[in-house]
Copies of this chain bind each other. A is one copy, B any other.
Amino acid sequence: MPKQVDPHERRTLLADALLRVAATRGLMDVSLRHVAAEAGVTAGMVQHYFRTKDEMMVFALDVVSARVQARLEADPTTHDGPGALVRALLVQLLPVDDDRVLEGRVAIAFHAYAASRPAVATRLREDTRGMRAMIAEQIRSEGHGALDPEQAATGLLSLVEGLAVHVLGGHVTADHAVSTLDAHLAMAFGHVSVLGRPDDPRHSRAEHR
């Protein structure tokens, strides 16, 4: 038997290349050959690890959701109470730095892709479902009870997704988005249970970049 390689590692390498292409040139430019070129390998190898293009797409989607979850678990502010946990999660989804901008572009691209690919849509739905359940639970535990946890969770999640779209489109600043999120968090949880905003108490009015 020949050389033994870790297939998952290879696939992840290719998925990373795919994500880079998707983020910089859009999902329409994601092709076997482009991904291969971006990864610095031959198109044949891509085909060897993904029998079909859709298989590659779905795997790439898995990679990003796993990556987001990993970052969440590594975030220390997670353990500063329910409010901080929820904030940590939601900020992960906001394009606040370069890495997150790439992931954001990929995410929105996949949402569009999901409209015509049921398999992708299902996976997206599972992820959202999990996040909403955990947010609702946290609100139930510390929220000030004035509003329905399920509804508040839906609202926060949607707000963040919309903010992400607007930030990526250059409609608003990342700072503006974060402060908007914080304002809404303060409404869901009784107080501003947020540490780590050492800057101007008035939210930044940087306006459109």
Interface of A is mostly: helix
A162 to B29, CA, bound (A): 25
Whole-angstrom distance between the Cβ of A24 and the nearest chain B Cβ: 8
Of residues A29, A172, A203, A208, which shows the largest number of chain B Cβ atoms within 10 Å of its Cβ? A172
The verdict on A88 contacting chain B, using a C-beta distance below 8 Å, is: no
Assess the B169–A158 pair: CB atoms within 8 A.
no
Number of copies: 2
Residue total for A at the interface (Cβ-Cβ under 8 A): 53
A50 to B155, CA, bound (A): 41
Residue numbers in B under 8 Å from A92 (CB-CB): none
Of residues A117, A125, A162, A187, which shows the largest number of chain B Cβ atoms within 10 Å of its Cβ? A162
Across the two chains, which residue of chain B brings its CB closest to A161?
B162
Across the two chains, which residue of chain B brings its CB closest to A27?
B112
Across the two chains, which residue of chain B brings its CB closest to A109?
B112
Assess the B151–A203 pair: CB atoms within 8 A.
yes
A129 to B117, CA, bound (A): 32
Within 8 A of B (CB), among A171-209: 171-172, 176-177, 179-180, 183-184, 187, 203, 205, 208
What 10 additional pairs, Cβ within 8 angstroms, besides A128-B169, A150-B205, A151-B203?
A29-B116, A111-B168, A111-B169, A128-B171, A129-B171, A129-B208, A154-B180, A158-B159, A158-B161, A158-B163
